[in-house]
Amino acid sequence: MKKLLALSILPICLALTACSTTPPVDTNGEPVEHNVWDELVKTHVSAEGNVSYKGFIADSLKLNRYLGVLSNNHPNHTWSKEDKLAYWINAYNAFTVQLIIRNYPTESIKDLGGSLYKINTPWDIRFIMIEGKDYDLNNIEHDILRKEFNEARIHFAVNCASVSCPKLLNEAYQADKIYDQLDRVAREFINNPKKNKITTEEAEVSKLFKWFSGDFEDQSGSVINFINQYSDTKLTEDTNIDYLDYDWGLNE
């Protein structure tokens, strides 16, 4: 049984090259600086959110160096809430890029789940190691960001490498301006006619508002109230709301 288990794990390790470790970098408990990630996304992500995965592949040593910092410096009790929030959003986005480039070319992140990894979805692949603990992307999004921060705007900050997702911001999230950044990405996403088509009479909105309706209701009382905080066109209780099809094509 142990031999069979080892053989079943081997393809995952080879596909992700996750069995090798990134160089350890210890910040002595201080919050992580995200300057390297900032440089990477400024270089390889357009203002519209189109990602050059080929560019990230060429810069994979720099990406791995940044991920090494994340992997060796889990947030601790001395960090501010803002430092922790920036860490986990940047971690989600950077590890998502790593997952894509290790399986590139691919037409969709959703192609990475299923029989290839013997799991249901790419968000269940436990390829992330942070201070000796295994994580998958679902752990970061649902168990940490959604559960610990009660911050609905994170849904416009974490990027799932797909066309219909909120764009990958071409700057790192930083503790000293994170709430301004979250406001900005929420406003840009909601007012982007490719992501949401809003009039006072009817609206076709992203399925994010359906999938995570409880988060928006908890923060603003209703999905409509949340949208109206950021939308240039205000919805009313009489507005007919429908949901756009979600395009899982790669965001390049």
Percentage of the chain exceeding pLDDT 70: 88
User: Does the pLDDT at position 8 exceed 60?
Assistant: no
- CA nearest 209: which of 132, 147, 156? 156
- Residue 75's pLDDT is 98
Contact 177, 165 (CB under 8 A): no
Give the chain's radius of gyration (CA, Å): 19
Mean pLDDT of 127-155: 97
Query: Which pLDDT score, from 0 to 100, does residue 118 have?
Result: 61
pLDDT value, residue 3: 35
Q: Rounded CA gap, 202 and 243, in Å?
A: 11
Instruction: Quote the pLDDT of residue 120.
Output: 81
Residue the block writes with tokens 């429908």:
242
What pLDDT was estimated at residue 27? 75
Note the pLDDT tens digit of each residue in 35-79. Answer: 999 999 999 999 999 999 999 999 999 999 999 999 999 999 999
- Between 213-220 and 223-230, two packed helices, what is the crossing angle to 10 degrees? 70
Identify the bridge partners of residue 241 per DSSP, sorted by sequence position.
203
Q: What pLDDT, on a 0 to 100 scale, did the predictor assign at position 1?
A: 36
DSSP 44: H
Q: What does the pLDDT read at residue 99?
A: 98
Cis peptide before 105 (omega within 30 of 0): yes
Three-state DSSP class for residue 222? coil
C-alpha 78/C-alpha 92 separation (Å) is 21
What is the per-residue pLDDT across 90-133, written as a single tens digit (0 to 9) for each? Answer: 999 999 999 999 999 999 999 997 655 567 899 999 999 999 99
Residue 6: the pLDDT is 36
Mean pLDDT across the chain: 91
What CA–CA distance (Å, rounded) separates 193 from 33?
34
Residue 21 has pLDDT above 50, yes or no: no
* pLDDT, average across residues 123-151: 97
**pLDDT band of 10, cuts 50, 70, 90:** very low
Q: What does the pLDDT read at residue 117?
A: 58
pLDDT tier at 26 (50, 70, 90 boundaries)? confident
Return the pLDDT at 140.
99
The reported pLDDT for the residue numbered 16 is 41
For residues 24-30, give the mean pLDDT: 77
Is 60 exceeded by the pLDDT of residue 175? yes
